[in-house]
Structure 1
Amino acid sequence: MRKAPLKTLSVHLFIVLLLFLVNGGRAQQTSKPKISVIGLLQELETEFNVKFSFADADLEGIQLHRPETENLESAIVQIISQTPLEIERLSDRYYSVILTDTLSICGTVLDNYENNTIPGATVRVLDTDIAMVTNMDGTFAFEEVPRTAIIQISHLGFKPYFISAKKLSNKAPCTSIALALSYQELEEVVVYKFLTDGLAKFSDGSIQMNTAEFGILPGLIEPDILQSAQAFPGIKSVDETVSDINIRGGTNDQNLILWDGIKMYQSGHFFGLISAFNPYLTDKITVIKNGTSSIYGDGVSGVMDLRTKNDIQNSVYGGAGFNLINGDVYGQIPLAENMAIQFSGRRSVTDFLETPTYTTFSEKAFQDSEVRTDNDFYFYDFTGKLLYDIDRYHKIRLSLIHINNDLDNFTLRPDGTDATESSLDQINISFGGSLESEWTDNFYTQANVYYTQYRLTAFSITESASRQLYQNNLVKESGAKLNTVYKLTPTLQWTNGYQFTETGIENITRINLPFFESSVKGVIRSHSVYSEFCFETEDRKLFAQVGGRLNYISNINTFEKVLIEPRLSISYEFARNFKVEALGEFKSQYTNQIIDLEQNFLGLEKRRWTLADENELPIVQSKQGSLGFNYDENRLYVGVEAFYKNVTGINVRTQGFQNEDQFDGEIGEYLVKGLEFLINKKTNDYSVWFSYAYNDNNYTFNTVDPPIFPNNLELEHSFTLAGNYNYNDFKIGVGFNYRSGKPYTRPDVTNPLDSSIFPNEINYEDPNSSSLPEYFRADASATYDFNLSKTIRASVGASVLNFTNRKNILNTYYRLNNTNEIETVQRASIGVTPNASFRIRF
């Protein structure tokens, strides 16, 4: 082989070097960093002796590549081409710079697995009439879109995608948008902005809250998950708590609360006044009143399904904040490209700092007790989650939550005698894991396992330590679930699954004087199989979800039972913007909360979990149906729904009676017939709504005289008028709530006390034959967001609950005092309660 001449080799090397330098120069030019438009304008002012008039807030954060010209006019043209700014020449020296109200946008829609373009995807500019479908190459473009608009991109078989118009500006290359395939549900958003940002209603009748996009509700400066749910008609709390939510007249223990697929037996802090779930890592909350999917068992009144964030981010994100009750921190840290860890922690400041908010909360929580001389109370919760993607088709998730409430109380009677020491601890620890697998484009599975443990321990020493009372309630539950989703056609999917649950509950009561001891333990196992078809037409006018569950429930020593539970959810758009919805379900549950020893432990926690035994406590079963109509025309939503719900197998000990029937143990049922109405007017800047709910809620206990009487939780009429307003980064919300007074039972007027027996007893009128005064409360809140730096966003907030300081009576009952006289006990609502917060996120 001949060697190349030295001269020829030198020429080749020179050409290679030249190409490298040219390409390197181009790469360097392409990767040139961006600069602030404000800084560039200031440089041009100095260089060309001109003045640019602009608002700093409009231009803050806008960046561009430095124009490559020494000519002022050419530099201005390049600024306009790279930014959403208009520059007008006012004179030889002065120029006006404004941020345009509208902008042109464009994008390319892809699937997030193969990166194929998606033609025919629907692209809507929400709250406007602007809409189109993507071209054959998956592209779209709009002119004169409002800068603050939200763009919705949807296509059959994919999850809806929402993005701000500002992120799609065509001043830069058109943005690529990847849609995720939708396996579990054929969901269509009926209303995107429902009452406030981050609330959406779906075709199956469920309501979903997205905390990342959450706006503001009256009285809330942070997105308290369980408090926010009470903004919807039919969901209220008769005692103003978040841990005692009544859905369509049912008791709180009849709600199924799930956190990452784990059943929760504790949901509140501060004896129910604060939600126990940190909202800032919670991705979405699904609230279901009727028409429940067959994948859910339990919860005869309603379902609240909380899911934490489930995607791995490439960078660290998180936040922290505090208010006048507690402080918290949360975040996600990537450990590798396919692994990350999430965490959150919150602790109260109530044991070392007394704030106006804590004072008002304490007055409500402890109002039944006598004078307190010492009170040591605190709470905390923390969560952790490991996210691991085996590959893009298989994902492992491990979740942990721990909740704790601790109270030590020392009470002294007004005369300075008979000191009482009480302690109350609530501890919940739960952990679970899931494996999500996508086997083909049409077949998806999810396997879940979990373990949860809840313990309530109460101890009281009275009368110079001569009388001691100990109570313990322990719940241990483990479960496993396999869910499969098969997409038969683009419009039809089939869901099947199996669920196993084992629940063990122990209740211990021990009194030393007079001596009494009780220990009750039980275990129930449940095997369930379910199947469900979900269909949605291509034009999305008809949605149908039909399925059912088959449950085999057994208590090792006492009973076996098989229950069939059909489920139905249908919606049909019979005219433009008009829909009719029909929902129905059969459900059952074998866990209940009994209310025992009503006057012990300061009236704070009287509810203890127990299992059905098919004797004194049957399995509770419900049947519910509803029919609704709604009109949704972007900016206006009007909905009305009538429902019928019958719940059987209830025991008076689970209902909170405070008359002669409270300990008799009768078995009965309740029937609720009602109507719910909501009208919501909304724009990009404000949302105003009015809701009304009517309930006719009656018990039937055949052994009680009379056998039919009003339910303890009946709120015959309830009204809400509320609204919020957004101006740039400032948000304000104001709301007014009115409802009928709940029923209660008074002593007989002519013969209030039966002294013929010992101990004496109170003679009552017919059960729940009287009503408390009507309830009215007004709340307000406001928040303001701002930048601390380029990467840190901050917000401050203030709220006032019950700013009219109206004293509402929540409950009235009667008891005999030490002198055998009838004593009236009234529980009042929370007084005027201010709160303030400061938060950062990055």
Structure 2
Amino acid sequence: MEKMLTKHITKLCLGILLVVPLYGNAQETTKIPLATFLSQLERDFNIKFSYVDDTVAGIEVSNILENRSLIAILEQLRQQTGLDIKELNKRYYTIAQKDKVTVCGRVLDNFAKNTVAGATIEVLGTKTSLVTDAEGYFNLANVPRKQSLKIRYLGYLTKYVSVSELLKSQGCKEILLSQYVEQLNEVVIYEYLTRGIKKQPNGSITLNTSKLGALPGVIEPDVLQSIQALPGIKSVNETVSDINVRGGTNDQNLILWNGIKMYQSGHFFGLISAFNPYLTDKVTVFKNGTPTSYGDGVSSVINMETKNEIANGITGGAGINFINADAFAQIPITEKLGFQFSARRSITDILNTPAYSSFTNRIFQDTQIENRAANENIETDETFYFYDFSGKVLYDINENQKIRLSFLSIANDLDFSRTDNEFMETTQSLLDQTNLSAGVQLQSQWSSNFSSLVNAYYTNYNLEAENVFPNPSQQLFQKNTVEETSIKLETQLRVSDRVNWTNGYQYTETGITNTANVTTPAFQSDVKGVIRIHAPFTQFQYNTANDGIIFGLGTRLNFIENRDTFSKLLIEPRLTLNFKLADYWRGSLLGEFKSQTTNQVIDLEQNFLGIEKRRWILSDDNELPITQSKQGSMGVNYARNGFYFGLEGFYKFVTGISTRTQGFQNQNQFNGEIGNYQVYGTEVLLNQKWNNYSAWLSYTYNKNEYMFASLTPMRFPNNLDVRHTVNLSGTYTLENFEFGLGATYRTGIPITRPDELTPINDSEFPPKINFRPSNSSRLPEYIRVDASAKYQYHLNRVAKIDIAMSLLNILDRTNILNSYFRLNDANEIETVENVSLGLTPNASVRISF
């Protein structure tokens, strides 16, 4: 009995020894409301606390009364609650919330609870931010109590946590981030050819210039050169200022820079793009299915946008090549104000490089510069330079409203002097081409579903030539000026997750002046026209689940008036349809009606010294009607595992063209007849991308024909009828080295040759050339091989050097770009041939940071 009692007593003692510590721990960690705890303190220590009820509401603390002094208890309360507890005297204390507190936390993956090292912790409304350490911890001091933390990490959903929530936790609160999972339809947006070029579901092509990979012959991300790698886009005369999209002339392209219409797009009279590529963020090209927010451009829209966000720090760069030097920078002034600028100037008036020699030989062919230099007794000297300067002011009024101010200045300047050593006479001719533009945009996000954009601009284009002939008493002055102002309001309403509705209105006023003044014989002409366009527009966009069908439908109404001469209302519907056919296969259907009231004409081959022959004029609905187009296309795309196949057939019908706008150089040159052209064709692209390689083969078939009812024959090939174009190119990337090589083949353009039996008509005065039927002959095929290479070296974490080289026309093949015929002073037929660039090397060195 005694042994059993002893055994039970032993068990009881052990149980008490075990339970008491556990009870003590449980008691210590038991949470009670702070208000209750303060009341208990007041009773136990005969003190009083003064506080606002909201200050302590919802706060719980551990029971820390036992075996502690009042000072120790109050210090523990400060640590647990983050409250500011002050002693007024031995009996009275105040409790208030601190404006600034210290918080800590630990960021984890909520799936596996792995630590997330390097996550960004940002205190909203302040400049304070840091990243988590290797264990996912962070600690922030002097944080406003009423603020929240923004926690983000690549691959996870961004999370917001209030500071007050962190203060409620014992120790450092664990913050769980959810992994970001997005199911992408990999065949909706295709990246092909090279890095940074993508085809969008609406049929447009976007180029991200900062990410643009190697392209054959291109050492800088020149916008208007780069887009010529796309099927259906080329320049039959090797310039960027005369781009032909699906058989259209260059003036049928709407070129926009930050929402401003550009009437000049090239330097060196077309051989170089006039837009600095290093601040250009995105370029969007529409060949068909253009959104209703765009007017003009019956062939295409080329929309360039510079970087639109204030930079986090100063970035920029500078470089030099065989043609020009440039610099650019992005400068944040405050959190809400930033500035961008770019400047470029040619070095051709300082340094004669191989590239400059090749460019001048190409551009001055059959101009008065070259023709006057052919006489042995004549000494000539030309000074040529170009420059461009652009700037952008970025101001964020608040998170939802932003203002962007843009300005751009472009200039080409040529001075040409001629000295006759026999008669000791010196004459001088000038050619100035400038474009000055300014625009403002107000972007507003009124709610999560509704936004608006106001875009207004002014642009001024001016082309002047002063031509002094060998007889100094005879002078010719020519001037072409375009002034345009426009304002557009565009709204975006997100009706639902699948429906978006765009509405807007655009007003445009365009004035064009053409001036000519000849001293001997005396002649003066000054013609000015003004057109105003009012254009409301609307468009719906609908997407089914998983983007099985992407559908857009809208219309634009153009009410056009030319002072008191005429007024006309044009209705322009637009359609885009992209749909899934099968796994990795999609089909597309695009259509549009478009119009334009500005065109470029050529009156004489020696206009403006024979260099810039084209001048802008306005439609008058009589001698030059409004140009209108109707276009439709159907296509199919396949993309899988780095392989892309695209096939698209199209038809385009354009009315309201004149023989003056098409560049005729035969019997139809001065007729001014009005007609149409239609073009139909097929574009095929095959592209295979591996880890370091990308190779593509593109083929374009075009059949492009004129229809002029008053000419004989009425139907004949278009001046831009290039039936077959083939491009085979490839790029290779190895770490910091990039290389591109490509070859282009295309059939020759149509020309009109003199009649073989009776080439000259002597029955008229002055005599004329008897031509064969219009465009009944063709030039030989065009073949060119280009290459480029680029190496990037990182000086440190922020600075790098890029060294690039290119070779144009590696085979040094003489390609005839154009050929026409004229009578000389002896009434003999001369054949004039414009040939392509020869072997042209170029190199550049750039530093960026």
The TM-score with structure 1 as length reference comes to: 0.80
Provide the C-alpha distance between the structure 2 equivalents of 1:416 and 1:634, rounded to a whole number of angstroms: 73
After superposition, the Cα gap between the structure-2 partners of 1:139 and 1:416, relative to the gap in structure 1 and judged at 3 Å, is: farther
Q: 1:443 to 1:359 in 2, by over 3 A?
A: same
1:112 Cα offset (Å): 11
Contact 2:326/2:342 (8 A) holds in 1? yes
Q: Is the 8 A contact 1:371 1:413 kept in 2?
A: no
| SS of 1:830 mapped into structure 2 | coil
Paired letter, 1:611: L
- Specify the alignment match of 1:502 in structure 2: 509
SS of structure 2 residue aligned to 1:489: coil
Aligned to 2:531: 524
Counterpart position of 2:811: 804
Any residues of structure 2 matched to 1:359-374 within 5 Å, and which?
Answer: 359-368=357-366, 369-370=370-371, 372=373, 373-374=380-381
CA distance in 1, matches of 2:556, 2:607: 41
Partner Cα separation in structure 2 for residue 265 and residue 217 of structure 1: 27
Report the Cα offset of residue 562 of structure 1: 0.2
- Does 2:377 correspond to 1:337? no
**Aligned equivalents of 1:419, 1:766: Cα separation in 2:** 44
1:389 aligns with 2:396: yes
Superposed CA offset, 1:729-749 (max 9, x none): 100000000000000011111
SS in 2 for 1:477: strand
Matches within 5 A, 1:121-160: 138-140=178-180
Confirm or deny: 8 A CA contact 1:370 1:411 kept in the other structure: no
Contact 1:271/1:605, CA 8 A, preserved across alignment: yes
CA-to-aligned-CA distance 1:65-93 (integer Å, 9 cap, x gap): xxxxxxxxxxxxxx9999xxxxxxxxxxx
1:616 maps to which of 623, 627, 634: 623
Taking the aligned partners of 2:438 and 2:795, their CA distance within structure 1 comes to 36
Shift of 1:14: 9.7
Residue of structure 2 equivalent to 1:110: 158
Report what 2:275 is aligned to.
Answer: 277
Structural mapping, 1:426-825, within 5 Å: 426-825=433-832
Query: Residue in 1 aligned with 2:386?
Result: 379
Mapped partners of 1:818, 1:664: distance in 2: 23
**% identical equivalent positions:** 53
Does residue 327 of structure 1 match 2:325? yes
CA displacement at 1:416 relative to structure 2: 9.0
Contact 1:459 1:469 in 2 (8 A): yes
Cα distance, 1:106–1:264 mapped onto 2, change above 3 Å: closer
Is 1:237 matched with 2:235?
yes
Distance 1:605 1:431 in 2: 24
Kindly tell me: are residues 808 and 111 of structure 1, through their superposed partners in 2, closer, same or farther at Cα, counting changes over 3 Å?
Answer: farther
Alpha-carbon distance between aligned partners in 2 of 1:421 and 1:600, rounded to the nearest angstrom: 16
Deviation at 1:10, TM superposition (A): 8.3
Aligned to 1:351: 349
Q: TM-score, normalising length from structure 2?
A: 0.79
Preserved CA contact (<8 Å) 1:739 1:774 = yes
- Whether the aligned pair in 1 keeps the contact of 2:783 and 2:813 (CA below 8 Å) is yes
Separation in structure 2 between the aligned mates of residue 189 and residue 410 of structure 1, nearest angstrom: 59
For 2:252 and 2:76, the matched residues in 1 are separated by: 80
Task: Give the conservation status (yes or no) of the 8 Å contact 1:419–1:464.
Answer: no
Correspondence for 1:71: none
Partner of 1:422: 429
Deviations 1:396-434 (A, max 9, x none): 111101101101113468999986532111110000101
Deviations 1:247-283 (A, max 9, x none): 0000000000000111000000001000000111111
| Alignment size in residue pairs | 706
Contact 1:438/1:444 (<8 A) preserved: yes
Structure 1 consecutive aligned stretches of length 4 or more whose deviation exceeds 4 Å? 1-4, 7-20, 27-31, 79-82, 111-114, 153-156, 411-420
Q: Is the 8 A contact 2:632 2:651 kept in 1?
A: yes
1:587-644 Cα distance to aligned partner (Å, 9 max, x none): 0000000112212444210110010000101000000011111111140110111111
1:646-700 CA-partner distances (Å, limit 9, x unpaired) = 0000011001000121011100010101111100101231110000001110101
Aligned partners of 1:550, 1:17: CA distance in 2, in Å?
69
Change (3 A) 1:561 1:140: closer
Q: Deviations over 1:515-543 (max 9, x none)?
A: 21111001000000111001111211211
In structure 2, distance between residues paired with 1:812 and 1:112: 68
Once the two structures are superposed, what CA deviation does each residue of 1:211-249 show, in whole Å capped at 9, x if it has no partner? Answer: 111111000010000010100111010100000000000
Structure 2 residue runs of 5 or longer lacking an equivalent are 1-45, 50-67, 83-101, 107-116, 119-132, 137-152, 163-175, 374-379
CA contact (8 A) 1:273 1:361 kept: yes
Classify the secondary structure of the residue corresponding to 2:342: strand
Alpha-carbon distance between aligned partners in 2 of 1:414 and 1:598, rounded to the nearest angstrom: 28
State which structure, 1 or 2, has the greater radius of gyration over its C-alpha atoms: 2
The 3 A distance-change label for structure 1 pair 329 and 228 is same
8 Å contact kept, 2:187–2:585: no
Distance 2:772 2:413 in 1: 39
How far apart, in 1, do the equivalents of 2:756 and 2:417 lie?
Answer: 37
Q: Is the 8 A contact 1:418 1:464 kept in 2?
A: no
What displacement does 1:310 show? 0.4
Please tell me whether the aligned partners of residues 286 and 305 of structure 1 are also in contact (alpha carbons under 8 angstroms).
yes
Q: Residue by residue, what CA displacement relative to the aligned partner does 1:683-736 show, whole Å, maximum 9, x if unpaired?
A: 231110000001110101111111111100110101000010100010000000
Q: Tell me which amino acid in the other structure corresponds to 1:309.
A: K
> Which residue identity does 1:700 align to in structure 2?
M
Q: Which residue in the other structure is 1:308 paired with?
A: 306
User: What is the CA RMSD across the aligned residues, in angstroms?
Assistant: 3.0
What amino acid is aligned across from residue 435 of structure 1 in structure 2?
Answer: L
For 1:94-124, what per-residue CA distance to the aligned partner results, in whole angstroms no more than 9, with x for missing partners? Answer: xxxxxxxxxxx9720339999xxxxxxxxxx
Aligned pair partner of 1:208 in 206, 218, 231: 206
Letter in 2 for 1:365: I
1:417/1:218 CA distance change after superposition, 3 Å:
farther
Structure 2 matches for 1:162-173, cutoff 5 A? none
Rounded to whole Å, the distance in 2 between the matches of 1:330 and 1:422 is 34
